[in-house]
Amino acid sequence: MDLPLISINKATVRFLNNTLFTGLTFEVSKEKSWALIGKSGSGKSALLHTIAGRFNITGGEIIYHFFDDFIKHTGNADGHLTYHKLIALVEPKHHFKNLSNTADFYYQQRYNSSDSEDALTVEQYLHSITSASQQNNYWNFEKTTGLLQLRELLSKQIIKLSNGETKRLMLAAALLKSPVLLLLDSPLTGLDVQTRKDFNFIIDEIIKSGITVIMATSPYEIPDAITNVAILQDGAIIKSLAKNEFKPALFMKDDTDIIDNEELKALLNPETAKTTYKHIVKMDNVFIKYGDKVILNQINWQILPGERWALLGPNGAGKSTLLSLINADNPQAYANDIVLFDKKRGTGESIWDIKSKIGFVSPELHQYFPTDNSCLQVIESGYYDTLGLFRPSQKAKADTALRWMKALEIDKYARVLLKNIPASAQRLCLLARALIKNPDLLIFDEPCQGLDEHQQHHFKTLVDTVCRLSNVTLIYVTHYQHEIPDSVTKVLKLDKGLSVGETNYLK
């Protein structure tokens, strides 16, 4: 007989002024691990947060059987121990603090050597993690850092990690807590091809060690060791079944996209005279080093107007650092031979001159973007390249922002604060922010992270339409081949800071 770890019985779940679930019933037993499946906004993340005790239960109940069992078997009399400490939740965003644990990091800090010294190293961060249970030493430092391939990163400051490396670190920190229950929210986003393959083995190891796993994930990325699937829709679990009965193709319907070409033409405003450039980007023997660590080694890259590039490579290859040089976020650009929009860096142009010509979105920008503006204000801030709107809104600009929201199917969130909408909709807001000023160069760094299948397909179609209707230059970064827009014709591949190939892209 399955022993229940958690029972949720007809619960009403609220957060702030929103009711997230009504009559929620869900049971988790020790013998089963779960995948939560559903479209964006269906309630997957909300269910994980409910289980973690982050939201208010105003009706029904949640019973944490595993906590009573833990106290009974360990005789733990620590009055400070609660069920929260036996649950580890790995969210899409990290919550790293500075060395004195007094402040969050900011977006450009990872590229400024003096400021980034205010961060723990990977080793220091992991040694700061304590286990509440103290009963199971299976997930010790050596075991965890080995399984998650963190040993080569131990001396690296956490703020300088790539998106995928950060994901591995967050999972390692969760395992070091030796939780009874491990909750994973979209754990595969940002991981390169090899790490995603390894993830199947990692989850198997975790479950074999006695930890129960519940993960929100894509229907096409359910690890073998997961036994059950719960399908969510509009804040309700509409179906629960064994994983071997779940057929992703039946669940995910391929929606037909309708892109309004005339509206896009108007938004792209082709009547406006564009400056012509000989080179959008020209790099000669670019070399970037932090301490003893070489990040980019003799990179040569030329991007001509209207070219569409994919920038590919595994986690830690140097892609984000390369993009930071183009986007004027990295001061080491001045020590290299870099030409942006026909002007050599360091010859008098400001970072704002450069940013005004670029529409940019990345996982790091999403991580650090302030969330207290409305979505409409966030998108309007794209006109000024600021992280939020710090001046009165202008009606014409706000109207254009709303039109871009409609193009990305997120206009229902126009007046809602960024922090109060699903993570996928937040990403789409930042994509609209990148598009709004019709820049000469679009840099999309893993833009489809966290988007459901329809959103990914719609965004890819939108990008191809924008490229067809304009002469915009594009740099596109992804770890998923199917996400690369059809308009991409060239590829630069990086590995360990080296260029390992510059080719035409063959579909």
Residue 273: pLDDT over 90: no
Contact 341, 384 (CB under 8 A): no
C-beta of residue 212 within 8 angstroms of C-beta of residue 165: no
Q: Could you give the CA distance from residue 105 to residue 93 in angstroms, rounded to a whole number?
A: 12
Question: What domains lie within the chain, and their CATH numbers?
Answer: 4-247 (3.40.50.300), 277-504 (3.40.50.300)
Q: What is the pLDDT of residue 422?
A: 86
Whether residue 279 contacts residue 336, with contact meaning beta carbons closer than 8 Å, is answered with no
State pLDDT tens for residues 319-350.
989 999 999 888 888 889 999 999 998 888 88
Q: What pLDDT is recorded for position 76?
A: 62
Q: Helices 261-268 and 395-407 sit at what angle, rounded to 10 degrees?
A: 140
CA distance linking residue 33 with residue 40, whole number of Å: 22
What one-letter code names the amino acid at 167? K
Check residue 507 and give its pLDDT: 52
pLDDT over 70 for what percent of the chain? 90
Neighbours of 112 (CB within 10 A): 15
Q: Is residue 115 predicted with pLDDT exceeding 60?
A: no
How many residues are given for the chain? 507
Residue predicted with more confidence, 132 or 47: 47
pLDDT above 90 (res 160): no
Residue 178 has pLDDT above 70, yes or no: yes
| pLDDT (mean) for 358-373 | 88
pLDDT at 103 over 70: no
**Quick check: 343 and 349 in contact, CB under 8 A?**
yes
pLDDT tens digits for 433-477?
999 999 999 999 999 988 888 888 888 998 999 999 889 999 999
Q: In which order are the strands placed within the sheet that holds 212-216?
A: 87-90, 181-185, 212-216, 34-37, 228-232, 237-242
Q: Percentage of the chain surpassing pLDDT 90?
A: 54
CB count within 10 Å of CB 491 equals 17
Give tens-digit pLDDT for 3-47. 799 999 999 999 878 889 999 999 999 889 999 999 888 999 999
Q: What is the mean pLDDT of residues 170-181?
A: 93
Stretch 191-205: mean pLDDT: 90
Cα-Cα-Cα-Cα torsion 286, 290, 291, 292, nearest 10 degrees, comes to -60
List all residues 6 or more positions away from 425 whose beta carbon is below 8 Å from its beta carbon: 40, 41, 375, 410, 413
DSSP state letters, 259-317? --HHHHHHHH-TTSPPPP-S-SEEEEEEEEEETTEEEEEEEEEEE-TT-EEEEE--TTS
Give per-residue pLDDT as tens, 368-383.
888 889 999 999 999 9
- C-alpha neighbours within 13 Å on the C-beta side of residue 3: 8
Confidence check: pLDDT of 287 > 90: yes
Q: Give residue for tokens 């975790």.
A: 206
Residue 408: phi, psi to the nearest 5?
Answer: -100, 10
CB 190 within 8 A of CB 167: yes
Round the average pLDDT of the chain to a whole number and report it.
87
pLDDT number for residue 97 = 62
Determine the Cα–Cα distance for residues 345 and 341; give it in Å rounded to an integer.
Answer: 10
Lowest mean pLDDT, pick from 30-39, 170-179, 259-268, 316-325: 259-268
> Whole-angstrom Cα distance, residue 184 to residue 92?
9
As given in the structure block, the two tokens for residue 321 are 């650092």
Going across the sheet that includes 293-303, the strands are 293-303, 281-290, 337-340, 343-344
What is the C-alpha separation between 73 and 442, in angstroms, rounded? 57
Alpha carbons 433 and 464: distance in angstroms, whole number: 18
Reported as a pLDDT band with limits 50, 70 and 90, residue 265 is: confident
pLDDT score for 397 = 93
Place of tokens 């966030």: 378
